[in-house]
Amino acid sequence: MVRLNHSRLADFIFMKYLRIKVNWKVKSRIQNLIAKFPSHLSYTTYYLFQRHWGGLRKTDPTSRLIAGIKIVDYIYKQGQTAISKTFLEIGTGYQLNLPISLWLCGARKIITVDLNRYLKAELIFENISYIQNHQQEIKTLFENVPNSSIFEQRFDQLINATKNLQSLLEMMNIEYLAPADATQLDLKPHTIDYYVSYTVLEHIPSDTLKSTLLEGKRLLKKRGLFIHCIDFSDHFSHSDRSISPINFLQYNDSQWERFAGNRYMYHNRMQIDNFMDLFRKANLKILNLDPAIDEESLETLKRGFQLDSKFKNKSIETIATSSAWFVATYQ
């Protein structure tokens, strides 16, 4: 029997993938197939998929660096500071760009946790190489962040960092915890200033989200802030432009489970109103809510796009909200 190594297995799958029309349903079948592999083989194969044919083909840290700057901006708008504060990020993923951004903005410590140990040193150092090769561009992103002297000092440290992951984590005081369950973290109460995530909460089952927020309340200091960006859109539409960001709302739960009920593409399909209710039920006060309404989705709805009954009673503005930043604190 021929034994395929991980790379050859990925090549075999994606040669098949490239021979047929690439659309979201094809991607769904590929993901569902890989998700059935034993865990280690599944994670390795999916990483190779992302690395060679998916979103990890090119390393560009810009969007996550901007997300970190945005988080810090919300902090200052609440009359608080990022300087010498402790952040907890949930949903680390493969890279460290958000924690790096927070550190450049003056954070004292960043704890970043994930359900699975996805972090890849090769991607981290490719992102740092990007920063090294685009120094002026990156400095421009941070030009309005307070305490520029801290940024300048830390930026110099970053671009001169050695290619050793442990040394890098120690330099930035980043603590990576994985595997870790965000509903019960081994951290002391009231030790976190800011509890943050970027496009993560939409991937957590709704019955787990409340426990996740309650754990955040246990960890936050008085006046601590929850700052989360949530992406409500159909994630298949990010790579398949033939479908709208609301495409997945035409399916009932069992239909959607067949397309995306795997560990790589799960989306709870909660909308902005559901998250507002969730925050309130967790006794969190929403201090700032910045939604983005997608015009394409609005037009699609006005043309009579058929929603599943689960979503029919919502306003078209709610359905067309593609993402939102939530800033909240506990009452």
Same domain, 167 and 19: no
Calculate Rg over the CA atoms of the chain. 20
Tokens encoding 25: 């349903």
Unique residue bearing structure tokens 């787990």 = 208
Q: What is the pLDDT of residue 105?
A: 97
List Cα–Cα distances, 279 to 28, 161, 198, 213, 215, in angstroms: 31, 40, 16, 8, 13
Q: Residue 330: what pLDDT?
A: 87
**Is the residue at 110 inside a domain?**
yes
Which two tokens mark 134?
A: 């685009």
Position with higher pLDDT, 320 vs 207: 320
In this structure, the answer to whether residues 207 and 179 fall within a common structural domain is: yes
Which is it for strands 109-113 and 174-177: parallel, antiparallel or unpaired?
parallel
Q: State how far the Cα of 71 lies from the Cα of 68, in Å rounded to an integer.
A: 5
Q: Whole-angstrom Cα distance, residue 91 to residue 61?
A: 16
Residues 66 and 53 occupy one common structural domain? no
**Whose CA is closest to 276, among 318, 306, 215, 320?**
318
Both 203 and 176 in a single domain? yes
% of the chain beyond a pLDDT of 90: 87
163 and 103 in a common domain: yes
Question: Tokens 């929603």 identify what position?
Answer: 307
> What is the pLDDT at residue 17?
47
Alpha carbon distance 79, 319 (integer Å): 32
83 assigned to some structural domain: yes
Q: DSSP code of 124?
A: H
Record the tokens describing residue 97, joined without a space: 């760009």
Domain stop point among 191, 208, 229: 229
Structure tokens at 15: 């040669």
Is 135 among the domain residues? yes
> pTM to 2 decimals?
0.92
Average per-residue pLDDT in the chain?
Answer: 93
pLDDT class of 5 with cuts at 50, 70, 90: low
62: pLDDT strictly greater than 70: yes
Taking only the tens place, the pLDDT of each residue in 113-152 is: 999 999 999 999 999 999 999 999 999 999 999 988 999 9
- Residue in this structure with the two tokens 């349903």, named with its chain if needed: 25
Mean pLDDT within 234-241: 93
**Last residue within a domain, chosen from 205, 229, 253:** 229
Domain membership of residue 44 (yes or no) is yes
Strand partners, 289: 326
The pLDDT, as a whole number, for residue 11 is: 52
List CB contacts of 138: < 8 A, sequence separation 6 or more: 62, 65, 131, 155
Pairwise CA distance, residues 120 & 96, whole Å: 9
Residue 82 lies in a domain: yes
**pLDDT category, 15, cuts 50, 70, 90?**
very low
Residues in the chain: 331
Q: Do 67 and 166 sit in the same domain of this protein?
A: yes
Pick left, alpha or beta for residue 173 (phi over 0 → left; psi -120 to 50 → alpha; otherwise beta). left
Torsions phi, psi of 286, nearest 5?
A: -80, 115
The CA distance from 113 to 126, in Å, is 21
> What range does the domain containing 209 cover?
62-229
Per the structure, the count of domains in the chain is 2
pLDDT tens per residue, range 271-286: 999 999 999 999 999 9
- Among the listed residues 31, 25, 24, the one whose alpha carbon sits nearest the alpha carbon of residue 49: 31
